[in-house]
Amino acid sequence: MIKRIFILLPAFLLGTCLVAQTILGVDVSSYEGTINWVSVKSAGYTFAFAKATEGVGLTDAYFVGNEVNGTAAGMIMGAYHFAHPENNTATAEANYFLSIAGPYIKACHLPPVLDLEDPPTGPSLSAFFTSAQLTSWVQLWMSTVQSATGIAPIIYIGPSNAAYVNSSLNTIGLWIDDYNSSPTTPPPNIGVWKSWDFKQYSWTGTVPGISGSNAIDMDVFNGSMNQFNTLAGCNAVLADFTSNVRSTCPGSSVSFTDKSTTTGIITGWKWTFSGGNPDTSTMQNPVVQYSSPGIYSVKEVVTSSSAGKDSLTYVSCINIAASASLPLVESFQSSVFPPPGWYSNLPKSTDSIWELCTTTGYSSTQCMYFPANCGQTVNITGERQEIFTPNFNFVNATKSEMWFDVAYEPSTVPTYSDTLEIYSSVDCGATWKSIYSKGGMTLCTTGSSTGAGTDTAGSHGKGCFVPPSLKAWRTDSINLTALNGQPNVMFSFENRSGWGNIIYLDNINITGNKSTGIENITGMAEVKVYPNPNTGSFFISFSDKFQERVYLMLYDVWGRQVYYTAVNSAVTQLNPEVKAGVYFYRVLTDKGDQFISDGKIIIQQ
């Protein structure tokens, strides 16, 4: 296959450890070098096609090793032949392929594949053959291989050649080239075929266990596990499970449901629950209690009467919510991410997630962002990924509110629109309610589609947004008074990807008793803000010995936060880039839990 780079697995949905399973695989050749197939299998991949031969004289040096080691690791393997019909007869190429791949065309392997592409050096196959001639070449190759092995081959082909050949080929199993797509969207063009079996949805993947000099081709099977097993001709077993919740309070119980499949009979289950009671089980559908806050893994091993064993491990399956005190002031200035007590939704190592940005932020060089919305080759449209806060006690809250800084600029392609959704939970994450939803131009903070951001070379035809200044940010707030009196309150920040552009979040504040601070409460002489009035630039100073970083916030006359910055020295000059007007400032300690000073400031421009 043509080699070119990235995979994202289907998004995790609320209430389960795993969504309905998509059967994913890869196709490889000598370009990938030596592969650690155990790592590939552990990362969630089920099958792999390995290049065996090309033309009538080239054997892939890694083919036998890939077949043997892949099978030993539990992968369902298959062999493919890169055809050169412009140079050789179909019979000669089929016989050469059989001489190398023949021992690996058998039960519990994928069908053999004819890889039919335009010659790498050109011109296209249509320049060499009429559609009838090319169809006849393919049919002869197929019949030669099937007669020798008893197994019907399938064909790998691109949309152009799939439309060029005659419809008499549409009874052959189809592996369609539909790069630059996603594993969950059907291919838009399959030529003369009416259905498809496999789709190559990316030329540019990364997979644990595979390095080599090239990116990885990513594939997906179009059907259920039973249909896959039937095609492969074996009684394979595939471990799979769900849970009734994926986040809950300490002391709660979690119910696990086995969803494993096999064409044989499953005869045994062995579970391992880190942090759970019990910590192991041989029941099919166990119930486990978790006492202590933490993020816990779950492993299931299933045994089939005719297909051996398979195991599945999710390293971040169950979150037992940790407790934290209000107020929350999270500025993402630490190198630790997620912040202590936060929980990132990462069931598999290849999932896209919220990450720590270390190059930009609101009045800093760090924030939280979701870079996979832009710059990734694989289309992740429709994927949802969340990050969760700790558990907060709102029993004594009276004026609860959340506010945060956000920066986003929609893609230049109108259909690529991303959404930021925020949820609250009053039962430690067992159930959720949406409290904020903005996407596309509603989420846009720049007032334009591309002009206010820094465009870099986007890998799917557009640039990636980077906030160029404080004016590209906006402070949004959410009234949380409906949560007052609740003892177990969590929040979730969800990226709903439209494969459009990067969402940035910074300075997330949650309080149970917000004050607009329109008068100087303390009048502390050691904090000075001057000149006042000023023209948009002023100093903050501390007369006492400066011992730690503090934060200064500006609020407008309606109580909305319009500026937020860290103060790292005894005398600091600030340039908030806000409109002329009357503002109220508040100074808090680094952790946001101790008030230092507040007052009024006038900015004249």
* Confidence band of 459 (pLDDT split at 50, 70, 90): very low
d(CA 319, CA 321): 6
**Nearest by Cα to 246 from 232, 238, 256:** 256
The lowest-confidence range among 46-50, 350-354, 521-525, 538-542 is: 521-525
Residue 2 falls within a domain, yes or no? no
Nearest alpha-carbon partner for 46 in 312, 383, 241, 382: 312
Are 546 and 432 within one domain?
no
pLDDT of residue 502: 92
Q: Which two tokens stand for residue 30?
A: 């000598």
Task: Output the DSSP codes for 4-30.
Answer: -----PPPPPTT-S--SPP-EEEEE-G
How far apart are alpha carbons 300 and 102 in whole angstroms?
A: 35
In angstroms and rounded to an integer, the radius of gyration of the C-alpha atoms of the chain is: 29
Same domain, 65 and 176: yes
Checking phi first, is residue 394 left (phi over 0); if not, alpha (psi -120 to 50) or beta? Answer: alpha
Examine the pLDDT at 546 and tell me if it is beyond 70.
no
The whole domain housing 414 covers 323-511
Residue type (1 letter), 273: F
When pLDDT is cut at 50, 70 and 90, the band that residue 373 belongs to is confident
pLDDT at 378: 60
- 10 Å CB burial of residue 131 (0-12, 13-18, 19+) is middle
Confidence of residue 376 (pLDDT cuts 50, 70, 90): low
Spot the catalytic one: 32, 67, 117, 330. Answer: 117
User: Taking the mean position of all CA atoms in its chain, how far away is CA 489?
Assistant: 26
Annotation marks residue 115 as catalytic:
yes
Q: CA torsion angle for 318, 323, 326, 331 (degrees, to 10)?
A: -50
Q: Is residue 134 part of a domain?
A: yes
Q: Which two tokens stand for residue 324?
A: 């934290």
Q: Indicate if 443 and 572 belong to the same structural domain.
A: no
Q: How far apart are CA 5 and CA 26, in angstroms?
A: 12
Say if 247 falls within a structural domain: yes
Q: Is the pLDDT of residue 464 over 90?
A: no
Instruction: Give the residues across from 210 on adjacent strands.
Output: 207
Looking at the fold, whether 123 and 258 belong to one and the same domain comes out as no
Q: Phi and psi dihedrals of 436, rounded to 5?
A: -160, 135
Residues 322 and 391: beta-carbon distance below 8 Å: yes
581 part of a folded domain: yes
Any idea what the Cα angle at residue 451 is, between residues 445 and 457, rounded to 5°? 105
Cα–Cα distance, 290 to 429 (Å, whole number): 14
Sheet holding 343-344, edge to edge: 343-344, 384-388, 490-496, 419-425, 433-439
pLDDT of residue 84: 96
**Residue 13 lies inside a defined structural domain of this protein:** no
Q: How many domains does the chain have?
A: 4
CATH number of domain containing 413: 2.60.120.200
Tell me if 288 sits within 8 A of 273, measured CB to CB: yes
- Out of 54, 60, 115, 598, pick the active-site residue: 115
Can you point out the beta strands (E) in 400-545? 401-407, 419-425, 433-439, 474-479, 490-496, 504-511, 527-530, 538-542
Helices (H) and strands (E) in the chain, counts: 7, 40
Residues 41 and 70 in one domain: yes
- Written as six digits, the tokens of 387 are 């990050």
Q: Are residues 307 and 196 in the same domain?
A: no
Q: Flag whether 5 is in a domain.
A: no
Task: Give the C-alpha separation, 173 to 222, whole Å.
Answer: 11
DSSP calls for 527-561: EEEESSSBSS-EEEEESSPP-S-EEEEEE-TTS-E
Going 348 to 351 to 354 to 359, the CA torsion angle's sign is: positive
- Is the peptide bond between 85 and the residue preceding it cis, with omega within 30 degrees of 0? no
Task: Decide if pLDDT at 2 tops 50.
Answer: no
27 is catalytic: yes
Same domain, 329 and 459: yes
pTM of the full predicted structure?
Answer: 0.54
Last residue of a domain, one of 511, 541, 569: 511
Taking alpha carbons only, the member of 398, 485, 381 closest to residue 439 is 381
Residue where one domain finishes, among candidates 207, 232, 257 = 232
Give ∠ CA 185-189-191 in degrees, rounded to 5. 140
User: What CATH number should be reported for the domain holding residue 224?
Assistant: 3.20.20.80
Domain shared by 270 and 394, yes or no: no
Q: Are 316 and 288 in contact (CB under 8 A)?
A: no
- Among 262, 353, 361, which residue's Cα sits nearest to residue 316? 353
C-beta of residue 50 within 8 angstroms of C-beta of residue 212: no
CATH number of the domain that residue 535 is part of: 2.60.40.10
Element (H, E) at 440: helix 440-443
What stretch of H or E contains 158? none
Percent of the chain with pLDDT over 90: 51
Asked if 316 and 364 sit in the same domain, the reply is no
CA 265 to chain CA centroid, Å, is: 34
**pLDDT of 184 above 80:** no
User: Do 221 and 93 belong together in one domain?
Assistant: yes
Q: CA 72 to CA 564: how far, in whole Å?
A: 56
Say which residues have a Cβ less than 8 Å from residue 124's Cβ, sequence separation at least 6: 118, 160
Which is it for strands 252-258 and 323-324: parallel, antiparallel or unpaired?
A: unpaired
Confidence label for 458 from pLDDT (cuts 50, 70 and 90): very low
Q: How distant, in Å, are the alpha carbons of 246, 479, 514, 528 from that of 588?
A: 35, 21, 13, 14
Residues 561, 595: contact at Cβ < 8 Å?
no
Catalytic choice (27, 54, 258, 330): 27
The crossing angle, in degrees rounded to 10, of helices 131-149 and 90-101 is 30
Establish if 12 belongs to a structural domain: no
The C-alpha atoms of residue 601 and residue 540 are separated, in whole angstroms, by: 11
Looking at the structure, tell me whether residues 350 and 470 fall in a common domain.
yes
DSSP 8-state code for residue 167: G
Determine, yes or no, domain membership for 252: yes
> Do 247 and 221 share a domain, yes or no?
no
Closest listed residue to residue 46, CA positions, set 20, 73, 28, 19 = 73
pLDDT band at 565 (very low <50, low <70, confident <90, very high): confident
- Average pLDDT score over residue span 98-102: 94
Measure the CA–CA gap between 224 and 367, rounded to whole angstroms: 41
The model's pLDDT over 28-42, given as tens digits with 9 standing for 90+, comes to 999 999 999 999 998
Q: Is the pLDDT of residue 257 over 90?
A: yes
pLDDT at position 312, please?
A: 82
Last residue of a domain, one of 511, 536, 555: 511
**pLDDT tens-digit map of 122-145:** 899 999 999 999 999 999 999 999
CA distance 426 to 531: 46
